[in-house]
Amino acid sequence: MTKSYSKVKNMLDAGHFVVCSELGPPIGSDPDFIRNKAKNLKGYVDGVNVTDNQTAIVRMSSIAAAKIAMEQGLEMIIQVTARDRNRIGLQSDILGASALGLRNVLLLTGDHQTFGKDPGSKNVFELGSVQLIKAVNDMVHEGVLINGDQMDTPPKMFLGGAANPFADPFEMQMIKMQKKVNAGVEFFQTQAIYNMEKFKYWMEEVRKRGIHEQAYILAGILPTRSSKALRMMKKYVAGMDVPDHVIKRMDQAEDKENEGVKMAVETIQQVKEIEGVRGVHLMPVAWEEITPVVVEEASLYPRPEVE
């Protein structure tokens, strides 16, 4: 098989069960903050997402932070949302990211700005995720911009998108997932899974449509050590599905950190058995240091070596 420019893609193509994680940039401009987080992850994961002003809160730019982390030897996945930039800004950033050597991108519509600390900011959303995927696909594979202009050196990127098994309307979400594939998505990272039954059903529907054969699916895992966080997610995070029994389990746990790791590991083991799931995406919020522990406990360490 021809090796591509993306290590994440090469690992997936080679049939490995891939482990990705997340790195949240700081509200500040300290590069060492990124370097320290990167060191902690090195060797434990195959790709690291850097969020793009997640929940619409100003942070160091995804591309800048990803470049800093990449210099520590990590394979990075930048996140690009359509919330803050129009087609001119978005395409420009893709060109810049590729020029910096960033080879993977997760293309998102983005959280609405009313969720963040600048609810009075103007929202852009000129493109939605599907249009953004199509635009970047055309840049990478056709060397052409939205306006039809050709470029000499097209960007090189492995294209990802998000999928939410827990959002409504279910059928419409499936249609949208298929549209993302048609637009050029090569891998999906899902919303965090706490409702395993629902996720299994969703994967069944994904397989019925053959989507798992058209794009790699990485299951979202959100390790947490707090009942309060679970309750907050259930109540306030749009598109999250946290069943009561999960919250009860954490409530009753004496060692909550240990329980959090156990729950994450169990979820990983369960999704690993589901046909069509090709990896996991770990996104511990405010607990990033736990990622190596979860990876080891889930017997996913050491990571295979792939070019």
- State the residues that interact with other proteins by CB under 8 A: 83, 87, 109-112, 114, 123, 125-131, 134-135, 146, 162-164, 166-169, 171-173, 175-176, 178-179, 182-183, 191, 238-239
Name 141's Cβ contacts closer than 8 Å, sequence gap at least 6. 154, 184
Kindly tell me which of 24 and 110 has the beta carbon lying closer to other proteins: 110
Kindly tell me which of 122 and 153 has the beta carbon lying closer to other proteins: 122
Kindly tell me which of 5 and 125 has the beta carbon lying closer to other proteins: 125
Give the H or E element holding residue 265.
helix 256-272
Kindly tell me which of 67 and 134 has the beta carbon lying closer to other proteins: 134
In whole angstroms, give the CA distance from residue 276 to residue 215: 9
In whole angstroms, give the CA distance from residue 106 to residue 180: 12
Q: Tell me the closest approach of the beta carbon of residue 13 to other proteins, in angstroms.
A: 26
Kindly tell me which of 169 and 302 has the beta carbon lying closer to other proteins: 169
Between 227-236 and 244-252, two packed helices, what is the crossing angle to 10 degrees?
160
User: Beta partners for 217?
Assistant: 188, 277
Kindly tell me which of 89 and 128 has the beta carbon lying closer to other proteins: 128
Q: Tell me the closest approach of the beta carbon of residue 135 to other proteins, in angstroms.
A: 8
SS3 string of 1-48?
CCCCCCHHHHHHHCCCCEEEEEECCCCCCCHHHHHHHHHHHCCCCCEE
Q: Tell me the closest approach of the beta carbon of residue 298 to other proteins, in angstroms.
A: 25
In whole angstroms, give the CA distance from residue 271 to residue 250: 20
Kindly tell me which of 65 and 159 has the beta carbon lying closer to other proteins: 159
Q: Tell me the closest approach of the beta carbon of residue 124 to other proteins, in angstroms.
A: 10
Q: Tell me the closest approach of the beta carbon of residue 55 to other proteins, in angstroms.
A: 11
Q: Tell me the closest approach of the beta carbon of residue 195 to other proteins, in angstroms.
A: 12
In whole angstroms, give the CA distance from residue 141 to residue 149: 14
Four-CA torsion 69, 78, 298, 304, nearest 10 degrees = -70
Q: Apex CA 149: angle with CA 148 and CA 154, to 5°? A: 110
In whole angstroms, give the CA distance from residue 212 to residue 147: 32
Q: Tell me the closest approach of the beta carbon of residue 253 to other proteins, in angstroms.
A: 27
